[in-house]
Copies of this chain bind each other. A is one copy, B any other.
Amino acid sequence: MNYKVVFHLDQDDEGSALVMGLTNITNMLAAVSGEDAEIHMVANGDAIKLFKQDLAQNQVETIKTLHKQGVRFCLCNNSMKKFGFKKEQMLEQCEIVPAGIVELCRLQHEGCAYIKP
């Protein structure tokens, strides 16, 4: 079985959904090791603020570790423009996608399960 999944974040709730999402992904990779996993996290709206370079160091480390294992972290460019953020201000592990919502639809239509932590 192929574990394809997209995690969706859209709030800046002091990072609790982010911590939950990162824990979810870590648990998932532990549970399905040896099997194929395709894991995406898409942030739009206020949630993109969580991925600035001043994120708490332990969360940055987790993101680096997961990114090395193939997890994609996507930030919505509509939200980037809304807040006036530049790519250089964000964690380098993040990829900018034109519209987070379109990415969420596209991934689900390609067979990803959806999880909102």
| A binding-site residues for B, Cβ under 8 Å | 1, 3-5, 8, 10, 20, 23-25, 27-28, 30-32, 44-45, 78, 98-99, 101-102, 104-106, 108-109, 111, 113-117
A-B contact pairs, 30 of them (CB 8 A): A1-B106, A1-B109, A3-B102, A3-B105, A4-B105, A4-B109, A5-B101, A5-B105, A8-B116, A10-B117, A23-B45, A24-B44, A27-B99, A27-B102, A28-B101, A28-B102, A31-B98, A31-B99, A31-B101, A31-B102, A45-B117, A101-B115, A104-B113, A104-B115, A105-B113, A108-B113, A109-B111, A109-B113, A114-B114, A116-B116
Q: How many copies does the complex hold?
A: 3
A62 to chain B, nearest CB (A): 15
Asked if A28 and B99 make an inter-chain contact with CB atoms under 8 angstroms apart, the answer reads: yes
Residue in chain B with minimal CB distance to A111: B109
Q: How far is the CA of A10 from the CA of B16 in the complex (A)?
A: 11
A5, B100: Cα distance in complex, Å: 13
Residue of B nearest to A46 (CB): B20
Q: Which residues of B contact A104 (CB under 8 A)?
A: 113, 115
